[in-house]
Structure 1
Amino acid sequence: MTPAEFRATLVRGLLMPLDPRTLLDPHHNGGPMNDLNTAAPTWLAEAEADRENFELDRLAEKMRRSERHAAFVNIKLRELGIEPVTWAKVDSSGGLDAALLVDEDYENGKYAVYATWGEHNDAVELWAQDYETPRRFSQMLNSIGSVAAAQIEAPKVPPLPRPDYRALALRAVNSLREDYVGCDAAAVAAAIHGLTYAVLHLAEQGAER
């Protein structure tokens, strides 16, 4: 082949239309693309199913927890003889929908009052709200008079949960592991361990009586 013939053959090859399927499969020879697998792998389908089951389990647990808390709130209201506007219930997302005790009284400057379950305090809390103030903690529901007080008192900062002193003590002693301190302090660390566990043991014994 002469140089001129070679150049002519090269030009014809460059001008030939390109099959776009060769971009996806460089081994494609122009025939049907039967060997190109576009299906999702089996393990990915299993992973998606596992995730869906996890989400369903989590939603079911959330709904069960909300049902318990709604029951606690409604029992407390019945004990105090309170007939709410709406009872506590589970909302469409599985969360707790607080009981509405009284609507806002705009003319007399009174808040709307809701009863909900305080997970930090394990007790029924009253939350207040008006057109200017988002729903916020007001006070604990200790008596029927608490509702009247919540209508006129400004919402407050929720009380801090009671510290778990046992967990705090264990965290403290675990930070004083003997292999983390010097030889001179090993005896002191061991003594602190013993005293702390002794106090916890006595506290547990007293709680069981």
Structure 2
Amino acid sequence: MNGTAMSTALTVATALATRATDLAQRQSPSAFTIGIDFDQVIHDDFDGWRDGAIYGPPIPGAIEALHRLLRAGWSLFVMTARHPRQHEAIAQWLREYLHWEVIVDDQDPERAYWHGPELLVTSRKFGALAYIDDKALPFQSWETVLEGLPARPDTSARTAGTAAAVPAADTAVPAWFADADATYQQQRAEQDADTHTALRHQADQINTLLDKLGISPVRRSEVGRGLFLVPALLLQAAEDGNGNEVQATWDTRFEHVALAVREAEDLPTGTARIVGALSDLADIAKARYAPVPPARPAAGTDPRAIALAALTRRVDADCLSPDAYAVTTAINGLTAAIVLATSSAGTQS
């Protein structure tokens, strides 16, 4: 960081510290909240708009920064200019990378602040200590703002030499689309209701079995407000590394209650891995000390996004499609065999 950047950072930090103290003294809810832009701050839409698709990997350092802020107790909301119909897709993208509860703003007109442990996706700008945005200009005075703004782009070159200006395209939404959109929203509401019912059944199955086994979990299973299953937390990871975090979850492959584990070093971002079915208390003790199985990526992901994500991050199993994962596993196995054979040959010689 050069001298100018360091001076600017210190000026901003000093201003934020003063503002935080002032808001806290006035007991303002915004003293504990930060608003963060989505595109080009959290999500790398490196190939432009692409019809609104959420296809890119996280901006380097974004996931780690969000976890650091959330663990420190900040209330965070993600601001976006995208249409509200895309907010759930944004929330799902954040859940997959962040492994944190993410909810979509319900547009409550009475809400002026956001204060909660969940990450909120919204198109509204709530009261906050600070807003993190790649297009923002820090306001000190109008004089500095006007000096910082570039000149307005000259559009005369685009129309020079033409007989008449090209009429603007009609962007009005046709009447029939309102009916189509209403039908889509109804279908989506029905799908969400079906999904909630299925998840509620899974959570009930998990909690019923825990009650039957006489287990009092740290956290019972429930349905997250973003329509996802929250596993029951049975045991927290041992700080000395000699014990996994153990969860009771639902195995969609075999349709039964299963145990999933995470090592202490995988917290808080690591994904829990299923190690087997839950049938008795001994299964939990076994899972506590079981080796965590390797990650297996889900099918149906965008190969192009996977490849680009792999190029911008360290390459591991989570960056590969199922077919690529199988090939990589085979290559690793052959490599291990060659190394073993070479070692054996060297020993014999």
SS in 1 for 2:190: helix
Matched, 1:98 2:231: yes
Superposition CA RMSD, Å: 2.6
2:218/2:232 contact within 8 Å kept: yes
**Equivalent in the alignment of 1:168:** none
1:54 shift after superposition: 1.7
**Equivalent in the alignment of 1:149:** 286
C-alpha separation in 1, matches of 2:254 and 2:265: 27
1:86 shift after superposition: 0.4
* Residues 125-183 of structure 1, C-alpha deviations (whole Å, 9 max, x = no match): 0000023343101221110111111111113479xxxxxxxxxxxxxxxxxxxxxxxxx
Normalising by structure 1, report the TM-score: 0.56
**Matched AA of 1:24:** P
**Equivalent in the alignment of 2:255:** 122
Judged with a 3 Å threshold, the aligned counterparts in structure 2 of structure 1 residues 37 and 117 are, in CA distance, closer, same or farther, namely closer
SS in 1 for 2:275: strand
SS in 1 for 2:178: helix
1:79 to 212, 229, 234: 212
C-alpha separation in 1, matches of 2:249 and 2:242: 22
**Equivalent in the alignment of 1:24:** 167
2:259/2:274 contact within 8 Å kept: yes
**Matched AA of 1:150:** A
Judged with a 3 Å threshold, the aligned counterparts in structure 2 of structure 1 residues 130 and 37 are, in CA distance, closer, same or farther, namely closer
SS in 2 for 1:24: coil
**Equivalent in the alignment of 2:222:** 89
C-alpha separation in 2, matches of 1:157 and 1:131: 15
**Equivalent in the alignment of 2:277:** 140
1:43 shift after superposition: 1.1
The sequence identity of aligned pairs, in percent, is: 25
1:37 shift after superposition: 7.2
C-alpha separation in 2, matches of 1:121 and 1:91: 22
**Equivalent in the alignment of 2:8:** none
Between Structure 1 and Structure 2, how many residues are aligned? 130
**Matched AA of 1:49:** A
C-alpha separation in 2, matches of 1:151 and 1:39: 59
2:238/2:264 contact within 8 Å kept: no
2:245/2:264 contact within 8 Å kept: no
- Equivalences for 1:14-93 in 2 at 5 Å? 23-24=166-167, 39-93=172-226
1:91 shift after superposition: 0.5
C-alpha separation in 2, matches of 1:110 and 1:86: 18
1:128/1:137 contact within 8 Å kept: yes
Between 1 and 2, higher relative CO (CA 8 Å, sep ≥ 6) is seen in: 2
1:137/1:157 contact within 8 Å kept: no
User: Structure 1 stretches (4+) deviating beyond 4 angstroms?
Assistant: none
**Matched AA of 2:189:** L
Q: List alignment gaps of at least 5 residues for structure 1.
A: 1-17, 26-35, 159-209
C-alpha separation in 1, matches of 2:175 and 2:197: 33
**Matched AA of 2:231:** A
**Matched AA of 2:279:** N
